[in-house]
Chain A
Amino acid sequence: MKKRKTVGGWTPLSVLGLCLVILFAVVCAAPFLYMFLMSFTQSKTPALRLADIDFTDFSNYIQVFTRNGFFRATLNSCVVVIGSCVLNCVISSMAAYGFEKKNFPGKEALFQIYLLTLMIPGQVTMIPVFIMMDQMHLLNTYTSLIITIVNAFGVFLIRQFMKGVPDELLESAQIDGCPEYRIFIQIVIPLIKPVLVSLVIFTFVNSWNSFLWPLIATTSSEMYTLTVSLSLLKLLDVSNFGLIMAGASISFLVPFVLYLFLQRQFVEGIALSGIKG
């Protein structure tokens, strides 16, 4: 065992480690700070000068909302996100309840197929889905943007959690003559609230940030979501960097503010997506 000079348990190596960690944290935050500050300038160059920042000047935001269709896009994104969260929670918790607490022939085999579908990436199925939506005249509708968010992941996630709901509780409710739908809504749903919060956050972030599908499924500017509108901004006005940064800020701010308030649930909800296996 070598003896090192340490100050309060900090070796030179761990000080280096600390510096690297702090440096990376700064690199993580700096672009967003830059984005935010830049959105309050009228700078014609990408360099940020502190003298250019004017926090009373909202003209970039006003322009992006009124002239670049961000008002409508924000509204669209909100509708799609809320719709996705509600639909995914309702449908996934129903299915999870059916799989976990009911018996029907072929149940486990079907669930295995559900798990297999998790391996299918959306980019591989988007062309047939697009064709299908086109034939059902659903392109450029909220339906096409919302309905595609449902997948087997939510079912899997809630089923895992529902294993903790005691069968005896449901049986005694049944014996007391409680109708089936009330057992589900009044007993099961309140018990699985924590996992529903995670699923809502997961769905929220995925839906708010999704880009490729809205890019394909919306062709009229009325139906663009925020990410699509933001992607078009770079083509419109290359020299107005403040404007682009205002657009990026709007798209970033909604999940960020939620993250500030619900940090723990956010990290859990998003980290869940990796723990499928």
Chain B
Amino acid sequence: MKRKRLEAVEGILYVLPSLLLILLFSVIPIFASTYFGFTKYNIMRPAEFLGLENYRRLLKDSYVAAAFKNTAVYVCLTVPVQTGMALAFAAFLAEKRAKLKMGGFLRSVMFIPVIASGVSAAAVWRVILNADGGMLNELLKVFHLPAVNWLGSRFTALLSVCLVAVWKNVGYFLVIYYAGIMGISREIYESARVDGASALQRFWRITLPMLRPVTYLVVTLGIIWSFQVFDISYMMTGGGPGRSTVTLVMAIYNAAFKEGRMGYACAVAMVLFVVILVINMVENVFFKEKGENGK
């Protein structure tokens, strides 16, 4: 009995430091954010309770609406493209890994953008996409194509941010997909090959269905990360031109730290939180279903 109690005390002592930090920097702040979302608050004055006023204002706020729309467009463009590219490249490299000696090297190269910070990647792309003599326009000139004002016009600015994000993320999801493909039993492929299935057939009939759990993961992670986009657009365009590349997180940042409207910023942050929570829950439901059917 005494030993058991001692063990419990030891266990709690081991967990305690991390518990304190997680309480302090995750659990308490999420409740505080929820509360501040109902108040008018800045760091100078005490919080003043407003009820749902912030949320009412939020619905009419064209800046937040633009941020929400841009973020949604960004998610819808980035996630399918990066998922498709990562899957296609991973499947190709896995299929050809016996014949292609440089497959490992190619994967390593594609991983380089993943380890770079969003800030340094965006700093470089900002210069490459420069309308006036940037390398991409120089390249277009070689093919006799007209120069594009990539970061200067509304539509292409958001598109550029999406492209840089895809460029940065593909290597990451490729690694996950590649590991997933390697986990599929070789025998299935062998028997399919014996039955005369082509590489494409093997991809559609074996690889793709077997990778469904990995795809759920890749898509959910992709969506969640994309909703949190900040670094790239902050660095490449600063939200402009106009409001064309303002993202949700940028709207939170600006409201809280540029305008000092912390209560309102918390309300916007709660919207982001709810979106991410819903995506997480949808994923969990899918995964549970999968687990029950699968085993």
Contact = CB atoms under 8 A, between A and B. Distances in A.
A13 B172 contact: no
A52 interface: no
B125 A103 contact: no
B65 interface: no
A114 to B, nearest CB: 7
Contacts of A29: 109, 112
Interface of A: 1-2, 8-11, 13-14, 17-18, 20-22, 24-25, 27-29, 31-32, 34-35, 38, 45-48, 91-92, 94-95, 97-99, 102-105, 107, 110, 113-114, 117, 119-121, 123-132, 134, 147-148, 150-152, 155, 180, 184, 205, 208-209, 211-212, 216, 227, 230-231, 233-234, 241, 244-245, 247-248, 251-252, 255-256, 259, 263, 266-267, 270-271, 274-275, 277
A220 to B, nearest CB: 15
A32 B116 contact: yes
Contact of B17 (A21, A22, A94, A266): A94
Interface of A (DSSP majority class): helix
B176 A274 contact: yes
Interface stretch (B54-62, B133-141, B184-192): B133-141
B272 to A, nearest CB: 6
Contacts, number: 268
Interface residues of B, number: 100
A148 B21 CA distance: 8
Interface in B206-231: 217-218, 221, 224, 228, 230-231
B119 A256 contact: no
Interface stretch (B28-36, B72-80, B152-160): B28-36
B113 interface: yes
Interface in B93-118: 93, 95-96, 99-100, 106, 108-118
A14 B120 CA distance: 34
A123 B272 contact: yes
B266 interface: yes
A22 B106 contact: yes
